[in-house]
Amino acid sequence: MNIEALRRDFPILSRTIYNKPLIYLDNTATTETPRQVVDTIQSMYFTHKANVHRGVHTLSQEATDMMETTRRQVAAYIGAPSHEEVIFTRGTTEAINLVAASYGELLREGDEIILTVMEHHSNIVPWQLLRTRRGVVIKVVPLRADRSTLNLDVYRELFTPRTRVVAVTHVSNVLGTINPVAEMIHIAHQHGAVALIDGAQAIAHLPVDVGALDADFYAFSSHKMYGPCGVGILYGKRELLEEMPPYQGGGEMIQSVSFEHTTFAELPFKFEAGTPDFVDIAALNTALAFMSEVGIEEIARHEEELLRYTTERLRAIHGLEIYGTAPNKSAIISFLLRGAHHYDTGMLLDKLGIAVRTGHHCAQPLMHALGIDGTVRASFALYNTFSECDQFVAALERVASMLI
Ligand code: PLP
């Protein structure tokens, strides 16, 4: 993996912030975008733009082909048995809302949903909205005493004959913990429940095979995998998607409409009402090609080395506490400088050209469980270098000497 060559594809990485070279360590929030992806967006607008699926003219067919090619490539990338099980959404959030709203229609009052304490708000609030509408019960898997991994003994005990859904993140966006989702899905199935996996933090960092996992639903966002904003994926098993009612109504998702009776389109279109973001969907294919060229195993290996190297060096900083110490961990480091507010640490790092995220990271229940109100979070991607890690650690040593 030639990182210097790869970095040249990301013009933003040559920026300066306060006259310092940008060191971008906010990849959990969004990854940066390579030139090739933006070139595809430009070529869609300048050369191919026409609305998809309902035109006989050449432009419409070209745009449709590009969109549907992405669907096939996504299916192949995640090991989905069929491209018809790949639904385009606006992002992970909309994908989870789709399942909570639509599969939720099949649930009854008193049915139970198991979440975990480390979920992002987007895998909590849609289920709470469902609870308000249908009276379902939400149960929560806590952390073990290590404050980093899920307590699977409690998880097993939470199941009852009323358990219908398990919704769990593949990788925690705060702790970096890679959850044993294959095992959790297997347990869910033993109890007759379906499992939704929030793959927002896994898809660009680990090999993902929804078939091997036996996931019922798997959700992720393009903008977190070097792709454009505004596109997400919901993978769902065909038999479940077929059973579920449409999420939204409108054009594209119907077979025939009359005022008396409307019939719906086949999968995947039943869940794609209105004009899709076909420009960005086409560009997602370029992001997939970019990632495939580098290779997800290679990306995972590089990021793991960055994680180990940086964690080791951070441990030497007096007064720095790391949150998230699972042995099986993605390249996300949440930490606090003792006595310093996370916001101040983040602001001072920004002055040194380093972009990290501060706050609750849309995981307030997890913050509550950890007894804190936020952390500083540095997260890595394939273009980060060991030299950047050194500069980050040196900057943090300076900040620590100022704040503690
Ligand atoms: N789930 C996790 C674990 C996340 O980290 C995020 C975003 O940070 C989301 C869901 C929501 O993703 P999006 O805002 O792209 O819908």
| Helix (H) / strand (E) containing 280 | helix 278-294
**Residue bearing tokens 């030139």:** 35
Predicted pLDDT of residue 54: 82
31 lines ligand 1 (CB under 6 A): no
Ligand 1 pocket mutation, candidates 27, 30, 93, criterion most atoms within 8 A of CB: 93
Three-state SS at 69: helix
- Report the alpha-carbon angle 78-52-210, nearest 5: 10
Instruction: Output the CA 213–ligand 1 centroid distance in Å.
Output: 20
What is the distance between the alpha carbons of residues 133 and 131, in angstroms, rounded to a whole number? 5
Cβ within 8 Å of residue 390, ≥6 positions away: 313
What percent of the chain lies above the pLDDT cut of 70? Answer: 100
- Interval 312-347: pLDDT, tens: 999 999 999 999 999 999 999 999 999 999 999 999
Q: What are the residues whose beta carbons fall under 8 Å from the beta carbon of 277, sequence distance 6 or more? A: 88, 90, 230, 231
CA 30 to ligand 1 centroid distance, Å = 9
pLDDT at 361: 98
Predicted pLDDT at 55: 86
Q: How far apart are CA 360 and CA 368, in angstroms?
A: 10
- The residues carrying an active-site annotation are 362
Ligand 1 close to Cβ of residue 122 (< 6 A)? yes
What pLDDT shows up at residue 285? 98
Q: Which atom of ligand 1 is nearest to the CA of 94?
A: 16
> Using a 6 Å cutoff on CB, does residue 174 contact ligand 1?
no
Residue pLDDT, tens place only, 26-64: 999 999 999 999 999 999 999 999 999 988 999 999 999
Q: In this structure, which amino acid lies at residue 308?
A: R
pLDDT < 50 positions in the chain: none
Ligand 1 contacts CB of residue 92 (under 6 A): yes
Q: Which residues make Cβ contacts (< 8 Å) with residue 164, sequence separation at least 6?
A: 107, 111, 112, 113, 136, 193, 194
> What's the confidence (pLDDT) of residue 343?
98
pLDDT tens-digit profile of 249-277? Answer: 999 999 999 999 999 999 999 999 999 99
pTM comes to 0.98
From 117, 121, 122, give the residue whose CB has the most ligand 1 atoms within 8 Å, as the site to mutate.
122
Handedness of CA 40, 41, 42, 45 (dihedral sign): positive
C-alpha–C-alpha distance, residues 199 and 330, integer Å: 12
